[in-house]
Structure 1
Amino acid sequence: MYYLLSSPNPESRFIEIECTFLDVETEYLEIQLPAWRPGRYELQHFAKNIQRFGVFNKNNEPLTYRKITKDRWRVETGAETEVVVRYNYYANVQNAGSSYVNNDFWYVNPVNLCVYADAFLNQPCTLQLAIPDTYQIACGLPQIAPKTLFAKDYYELVDSPLMASETLQHRTYQVQDTTFYVWMQGNIKPNWEQIVADFQKFSAAQIAVMGSFPEPEYHFLNLILPTPYYHGVEHRHSTMVVLGPDDEGDGLHLDLLGVSSHELFHAWNIIRIRPKELLPYDFTKENYFTTCFVAEGVTTYYGDLFLRRSGVFNDEGYYRELQTYMKRHFENSRHAQQSLVESSWDLWLDGYEKGIPQRKVSVYHKGALAALILDLTIRKIHNHKRSLDDVMYALWQRFGIPFVGYTMEDYQAVVEEIAGETLPWYWNDCILSNLPLENHLNDALTWVGLHMVSFGDGTVQLQELGSEPAVLERKKWLNGNI
C-alpha cells in the first residue's frame, strides 16, 4: 500500500490522504479504517473525522462503491488492478493517540487515518509526506527517501506515530546495541544533559532485567504543550508522549521521567509480551482480554520502580509515586464491585470514563498494587533470589521473543513456577475477586518496613517502619539486587 499525505491548507486542520492499492485481483475490494487504536482499548470510530471520500482507478475515473459499516467501504473493482482511495481527515486534537496539523507542525498517528484492505495487511507500506523541505521527521520508521517512510506491513505502519516540523529538537544515547532518540517539540529549552543521563539510567536498568531490547532503535516522541496535560502511548519502536504546561520546570521533568519509564517497559510488556487475544489486532471491533492488569498494572509498578533502582529517584521520590496510586485506588475504588479481570474485560465498555460509583477498578492503580504484592511475596519466599523480574523475563523468553501471545492461564503458570507455590490466596483475593487489597498489601509492605495507614475519612498514607531487619529487606527490594 502506498500513502501520500498532504495538507494544502494546514490551518483548516484537514489532512488529505491518497492510498493506492496495486495488483488488485478481485472483483471487489473492501476498504477499512480502524475503529480503535492499540494502547487504548475502546472504540474511537475514527471514520467520524472523514469529511470527503472517493475511489478511483489509475486513470482517475471514479469507481462504484458503497459504505457497508460505519468505517468500511465495498468497492466494485471490475477488471481494475489499481485502486486509488482519496479522502480527507480532520486532525485537530493533540493527545498521545490523535493527529494534528497546522502551519508549523505535523503530528500523525497513522492508525487514525490510514485505510487498509484485508488482503494487503501483511504487505509493505510506503508513507510519503508532502511537507516543507526544511522539516525534520521524528518517527520510528526508517526514511527510504526524503519525506518518505517505510513499514514492513500495515501493523508496523499504524504502530508508528510521527512528528514533523522545523523546530524539532533531539538527542541520542546508547544502551548495549540499541540507539535511543529523545525528541522534543514545543516551547521548551530542554536540560539535555539531565534528560540524557536520567533516560540512560532507567533504560539500562530495564534492559538489565529483561536481558535484551526488542528493537535496534527506539524513539521518545515528546510534544510539550502550554496547557496542563499528561498522556503517553506505547508503540513498537517508539512512544508518543504529550505533556504540559511547558513552564512547569522540575515538575515537567518528573512527569517526563514517570511517563517515559512506564512507556519504555511497554516495549516488552504488551508490544511483544502480548495477550493471545490481541494477536493479531482486529481493528474492526473490540478485542476483549482479561489480562490488562498485567499489561498496564505491572508496567505501572515497574515504571516507577526502575526509576528508583537506577538512582534517578531516591527513596522519597519512589514513595511519593507509590503513595499516589495507593491513594487513587483506595480513596476512589476500595469497595468497587469488579475484580481486576472484570475491569480488564470492561475497558471496552467504560474503562476510560469515570463511570458509575464503585463499579470498576483501575487496571493501572490496583493492577500496580497487585504487582507489588506479588513481587514482595516471591521475594520473601526466596529471600530475594527470585522476584517478579523472573516472571517478566520468562514471559519475554517464552511468549515475547517468539511473539506467540500468552493467556491468563500462561501467566498464572509462570508466576507459580517462579514462586514455587500455587498462591491460591493471591489469585482469588487480588485478581479474581473484588475483595479489598489492604490486608494483603500491608502484609507484603511490613516485610520491607512500610505500612499503609487508613484514616476514618477514607484517605490513606504510606509510612515507614523502623525495624532494622525490615529496612535491610527494603534496600534489597528497591535496589533490585542489580
Structure 2
Amino acid sequence: MIHYHVSFENPLTFYVQVQMTFEVPATTAEAVELQLPAWRPGRYELQNFAQKIQRVEVLDANTKSLLPYRKRTKDRWEVPNAAGRTLQVRYNFYAHQMDAGGSWLDETQLYLNGVQCFMYIEGRQNEACQLRLDLPEGWQIACGLPQSGPNTLQAASFDQLADSPLIASPTLQQRTYQVQGLPFTVWIQGECTPDWETILRDFTAFTEEQMALFGGFPVSDYHYLNQILPYKHYHGVEHGNSTVITLGPAELLMTEGLYKEFLGVSCHELFHTWNIKSIRPAEMQPYDYARENYFRTCYIAEGVTTYYGEYLLARSGVRTVEQYFQELNTVLRRHYDDYGRFNLSLADASVDLWLDGYKPGVPDRKVSVYHKGALVALLLDLTLRHLTGHQRSLDDVMRRLWEEFGQKGVGYTEEDYMRLVTETAGRDMRAYFDKFVYGTAPLEEPLDKALSWVGCTLRIEETTSTSESYFGFRTVVKNERTEVTDILPDSPATTTLTVDDEIVAVNGRRVDMNLQSLLSANGDLRYEVSVFRQNRLLTVVLEGQPNQRYWQKLTVAKLPTATAAQQESFRLWLKQEF
C-alpha cells in the first residue's frame, strides 16, 4: 500500500504539506520514477500542476537521511538506488485556487483535488492507497472515498485517489436522499441557508430520471461537494462518485436565478457519472496523466451531457417548458455568436481542446463542443424519435453505450458511437455525421425541421443593437471607453474597424454611452467614425445597407398552429403538456 499524509502548519500561507511513503522491493533494478499529473480529467488541457510544488525532499524512512534525486521533466522525479528501501517523499503544495478543479486552504477549510497535488509511482498506479489528514478538532470530511478510521481515507488505486476531491471543515452542512436504495449526499460549504426540502425534492426528481434512462448507476454512493462562495462564481467538475461545484454569491443560492444554475450544473455533473467517467473514450482507458490524451469524441462527453443536463430537468418536471427553452436559447445564442462554427468541425474541436479549447482564442477560429455539441445532440434525439415514431431516441444510444462499454470497463471509439446511432435509427446516419460532426454544415434548417415535428420552430429575430444589426460589430464600455470587441466576417465593419478600436465620436459627436443612438441618426446609414487605434486618432467611413441585417438572434418557440400530432410528440419528448 502507498501511504499519503497531508497536513498544514500555517493556513495563511496556503501551503499544504504532503508526504508520500512506500516500500521499494529489493528486486527493483531501475530507479524509481515519481510523476505528478500534468492535467486533470474533466478539463482537457495541460495545466502543469508542478508549478504549485515547493521543496521536494526524498528520505530513507528508516534512517531519516536525505537521498539524492534528479528532476527528469517539469513534473517527473527520478530516485536512483532505491531498491530495498522505504522512501518518504515530502513537498509543499500551494492550495490557492478556488474553482471546481482547484484546491484551497484557509483557516476555515481544506479543499483538496488530489490530481493536483499527489505524485504517483510509475508502474504502480494500480496499488491501493491510504490518505491520512491532520485536521483540527471538530473538522468533518466530505469525500467520495470510504473512511477506514479517523481522518483516514482508502482508495483502491491512484486513479481513485486522484479522482476523489475532498472538503474538510467544521462548518459543513449535509443531507442525504436515496434513489433505488442508493445514497446521494449533498454537502454544502459556505455561509448560506439552503432550503433543504426544495433541494432534496428537485435532486431526487432528476436523479430518478437519469437512473431510469440508464437502468442502473455506476457506483454505490454519490457526493455533491458544493463550495457556495460569497462572490459570483459558476463551475463544476465531474468525478467517479462525486462532483465539485463552486457557485455564488452565497446569499442568493435559493433565489430563482442562482438556484436555476445550481440545478443545471448538478444535473449535468451527475450525468457525467455515466458519460465520461464510466462510458469513457478508448483513448482514456486508462488515463495517462503525464501528457495529452487526444480524443475526437468530446462532443459526446460534453455536448451530449450539456443537452441532457437541461433537458432532463424539464423531463423530470423540475424545470417548466419556458425555463427549459430559456436555457436552450442561451445555448443557441452562444453558438450563433461564434463564427468559428464555419471553420472547425466538432470532431476537430474535440482534439483542439488540448490546444486552446478553454480560452477565447483568436476570432472566428473554433466551435464549442459544449454548445454545438448540445445542439447536434438535440438534432439527433429528435431525428431518432421521428424516424422510429418515438420508439427509440438518443436515450437508447446512451443506454447501449453504458451496457456495452461503461459497465464492462471498455473504452468506446467514434466508430462505435456511429454504429450505435445507425442501429438505433434503423438507417444509414453517415450524412448526419459528415455534415454536423465532421463538417461545418449550418444547423438552422435541419434544427427547424426537427423541432417542427414536436410542434416548435427555430425563430429568427432581429437584434435591437444598431451596430450589430446594420454594421456587424459589437462593443463594450470599459472605464467609460467604448471599445470594439467583435466584428462579423464580411460585414461593413470589416472594411473600416478593427478589434480593440476605441470609438470616440460619430459624425463629430462624442460617444458617451450613446453609440447605438448616434448610429441610428442617418437613414442612409453612412457615418464618419473617429477611433483611437494603437493610440493614434483616425476617422473612417462606416456605411451599411438598409436592406441587409447582420447578427440575428435565434430562439426556440412553440408553433401557434401546432397540430394534435405535433403536440403529442412534444409530450412524448418532454413529458410535459404542450
CA contact (8 A) 1:56 1:84 kept: yes
Question: How many angstroms apart in 1 are the aligned matches of 2:118 and 2:248?
Answer: 28
Q: In the alignment, is the contact (CA less than 8 A) between 1:334 and 1:436 conserved in 2?
A: no
Q: What is the CA deviation profile of residues 344-371 of structure 1, one whole-angstrom value per residue up to 9, with x for unaligned ones? A: 0010000000011111111111000000
Which structure 2 residue ranges, 5 or more long, are not aligned?
Answer: 463-548
Aligned pair 1:65/2:69, yes or no? Answer: yes
Deviation at 1:177, TM superposition (A): 2.8
Q: Give the whole-Å Cα distance in 2 for the aligned partners of 1:333 and 1:298.
A: 21
Query: Identity of paired residues, percent?
Result: 49
Counterpart position of 1:47:
50
- Give yes or no for the alignment of 1:231 onto 2:230: no
Partner of 2:202: 198
Q: Is the 8 A contact 2:32 2:82 kept in 1?
A: no
What's the CA shift for 1:81?
2.3
Question: 1:366-424 CA distances to partner (integer Å, 9 max, x unpaired)?
Answer: 00000000000000011101000000000000000001010000000011001101122
* Equivalent position SS for 1:463: strand
Map 1:300-339; keep pairs closer than 5 Å: 300-333=306-339, 335-339=341-345
CA contact under 8 A between 1:172 and 1:180: conserved in structure 2?
Answer: yes
Deviation at 1:269, TM superposition (A): 0.3
- Structure 1 pair 12–464 and aligned structure 2 pair: CA distance change class (3 A): same
Equivalent position SS for 2:111 = strand
Q: Pairwise mapping of residues 397-412 of structure 1 onto structure 2 (< 5 A)?
A: 397-412=403-418
Name the residue aligned to 2:41. Answer: 38
C-alpha spacing 1:29/1:73, structure 2 compared with 1 (3 Å) = same
Amino acid in the other structure paired with 2:320: N
Q: How does 1:44-443 map to 2 (within 5 A)?
A: 44-58=47-61, 59-248=63-252, 249-333=255-339, 335-443=341-449
Who is 1:2 aligned against? 3
Q: Deviations over 1:130-158 (max 9, x none)?
A: 11120010000001000010000000000
Matched letter for residue 464 of structure 1: K
- Normalised to the residue count of structure 1, the TM-score between the two structures is 0.98
Identify the residue that residue 447 of structure 1 maps to in structure 2.
Answer: 453
Structure 1 unaligned blocks of 5 or more: none
Are residues 302 and 480 of structure 1, via their aligned partners in 2, closer, same or farther at CA, if it must alter by over 3 Å? farther
3-state SS, counterpart of residue 111 of structure 1: helix
1:473 paired with 2:569, answer yes
CA positional deviation for 1:440 = 1.4
Conserved? CA contact 1:297–1:367, under 8 Å: yes
| 2:90 partner letter | R
Q: Which amino acid in 1 is paired with 2:199?
A: I
CA distances 1:168-222 after superposition (whole Å, capped 9, x unpaired): 0000000003100000000100000000000000000000010000111000000
Q: Residue 56 of structure 2 aligns to a residue in which SS? A: strand
Greater relative CO, 1 or 2 (CA 8 Å, sep 6+) = 1
Partner of 1:12: 13
Matches of 2:53 and 2:259 in 1, distance apart? 37
- How big is the alpha-carbon RMSD for the aligned residues of Structure 1 and Structure 2? 1.3
Aligned residues: 481
* C-alpha contact 2:23 2:84 (8 A) present in aligned 1: no
Residue type of the partner of 2:373? G
SS at match of 1:247: helix
C-alpha distance in 2 between matches for 1:123 and 1:335? 44
Instruction: Point out the structure with max Rg over C-alpha.
Output: 2
Q: Deviations over 1:288-335 (max 9, x none)?
A: 000000000000111111101111001111111111101110122364
Given the two structures, how large is their TM-score scaled by the length of structure 2?
0.82
Alpha-carbon separation, structure 1, partners of 2:270 and 2:260: 15
Shift of 1:79: 4.0
8 A contact 1:246–1:252 mirrored in 2: no
* 1:480 shift after superposition: 8.8
Kindly state the Cα deviation for residue 472 of structure 1 after the two structures are TM-superposed: 1.9
In 2, the alpha carbon distance for the partners of 1:392 and 1:322 equals 21
Runs of 4+ in 1 over 4 A off after TM superposition: none
Structure 1 position 29, deviation (Å): 0.4
**1:106–1:78 CA distance, 2 compared to 1 (3 A):** closer
Question: What residue number does 1:457 align with?
Answer: 550
Give 3-state SS (helix, strand or coil) of 2:78's partner.
Answer: strand
Partner of 2:540: none
Distance 1:174 1:111 in 2: 29
1:259-310 deviation per Cα after TM superposition (whole angstroms, max 9, x unaligned):
0000000000000000000110000000000000000000011111110111
2:491 maps to what in 1?
none
